[in-house]
Structure 1
Amino acid sequence: MNEHALKDRIISLLDSHKVGTLATVRNNRPNSRYMTFFNDGLMLYTPTNKETHKAEDIRENPYVHILLGYEGEGYEDPYLEIEGKVEIKDDNEMKEKVWSDRMSKWFDGPRDPEFVLLQVTPSAIRLMNDGEETPDTLEL
C-alpha cells in the first residue's frame, strides 16, 4: 500500500475507534490500561488526572505503546499498533475540544486543574489484519 493510502486508512481507523490500551513502563515492567483516545489527524490525545500512576510513569519514561481498533469479532479485525512519545498537556483549548459530560465522574469540568491530556506523537503506526498488504508500517 502506498504511504498516502496507508495514512488515510490509519486515520479512518483512528476516527472510528476511540477505546484502546495504553502501555507504559512502571518499575521496569509493562503496565497497560484501557483509555479513551481522540485524534487530530495522526496526533492522539487521551484524558487523565495529572496525579495518576500513568502520568508518573510518563514523567519517568515518555515512550508508550497503544493498541487501537480491534473489535473482538474475529481473527481478521483490523487494528493499529502505535509507538509514540507522550507529553502531558494542560492546553485549555484542546481540553474543551475533547471534553464530554461523561468525564464529570472524574473531573469538575474541562478547566479542572487535575484534568490533563496525554498528547501522543506517534513514531510508528502498524496497520494489522487489513488485507493482503498488512502488516504495513507508517514511519513518522
Structure 2
Amino acid sequence: MTEINQEHVWDMIEDINICMFITWDGSRQRARPMAHMSKPEEHAIYFFTDENGAKDDQLEKFPIVTLAYADQSQNDYVSITGTATVSNDRTKIEELWSPMMKSWWDGPQDPTLRLIKLVPEDAEAWDSPHDVVSTIKMAAAAVGLGKPDMGDSGKVRM
C-alpha cells in the first residue's frame, strides 16, 4: 500500500499534463482544461494564461481554485485546492516557457502572456490498483465474490 502524503500527491500529478482548472465567478463554478507546470520544490503549480482571460478577473475576486487531475490509464485521481494569483513576472515566464506554448503566444515576451501561480493548501487523492489482477478482482466483487482492493485514498494537507 502506498501512503497518500504530499510527496505522493506531487508524484501523481507530475505525469498528468492537463488538469481541470476550476474557478468561481460569483454565481457558479467554471472549469477549463489547462496545462500545468508543477514545482514541488517551490510548493507551487503554474499555468500560463492570457491577460484577457475571464479566469483572471475571477481570480482577482475569488482566488480559491480547485484543480482536478485524472489519469485513467493508471487509475490515479487527484483534486487540489489552493490560492491562485495572476502575475506578469517576466523572469518566471521566461523560466517556465516551452516551445509548446507557441501555439497560443508568440513567445515568452508576448505582452498578453501572464502567469497563474497556485499555492496548494489541501488535496484528495485516489491511487487505485491498475493491473489486470485488480480488474479481475473488481469483476469478481461485482458478482458477489468479495470486496475488491480499491487502492489508497486520503486527504492531505499540502
What are the residue-to-residue correspondences of 1:95-114 with 2, within 5 Å? 95-114=93-112
Give the 3 Å change call, closer, same or farther, for CA 2–115 of structure 1 in structure 2.
same
Residues in 1 aligned to 2:45 and 2:75: alpha-carbon distance in whole angstroms = 21
* Equivalent pair of 1:81/1:128 in contact (CA under 8 Å): no
Please report how far the alpha carbon of residue 40 of structure 1 lies from its aligned counterpart in structure 2 after TM superposition. 0.7
User: Match for 1:79: what amino acid?
Assistant: Y
Pairing 1:50–2:51 present: yes
What are the residue-to-residue correspondences of 1:33-72 with 2, within 5 Å? 33-41=32-40, 42-68=43-69, 70-72=70-72
* Equivalent pair of 2:105/2:113 in contact (CA under 8 Å): yes
Poorly superposed stretches of 4+, deviation over 6 Å: none
Residues in 2 aligned to 1:125 and 1:89: alpha-carbon distance in whole angstroms = 24
What are the residue-to-residue correspondences of 1:1-140 with 2, within 5 Å? 6-41=5-40, 42-68=43-69, 70-73=70-73, 77-130=75-128, 134-140=152-158
Unaligned runs of 5+ residues in structure 1 are none
User: Match for 1:115: what amino acid?
Assistant: L
User: Match for 1:134: what amino acid?
Assistant: D
User: Match for 2:82: what amino acid?
Assistant: G
Residues in 2 aligned to 1:130 and 1:6: alpha-carbon distance in whole angstroms = 15
Residues in 1 aligned to 2:108 and 2:157: alpha-carbon distance in whole angstroms = 33
Flag the structure with larger Rg. 2
Query: 1:81-139: per-residue Cα shift (whole Å, max 9, x none)?
Result: 00111011222222122212222232121122211111001110111143666321111
User: Match for 1:26: what amino acid?
Assistant: D
User: Match for 2:152: what amino acid?
Assistant: T
Give the TM-score, by structure 1 length.
0.85
The percent identity for this pair of structures is 20
User: Match for 1:121: what amino acid?
Assistant: V
Unaligned runs of 5+ residues in structure 2 are 130-149
User: Match for 1:72: what amino acid?
Assistant: Q
Residues in 1 aligned to 2:5 and 2:31: alpha-carbon distance in whole angstroms = 26
Please report how far the alpha carbon of residue 27 of structure 1 lies from its aligned counterpart in structure 2 after TM superposition. 3.9
Match of 2:141 in 1: none
Match of 2:135 in 1: none
Q: How many residues align?
A: 136
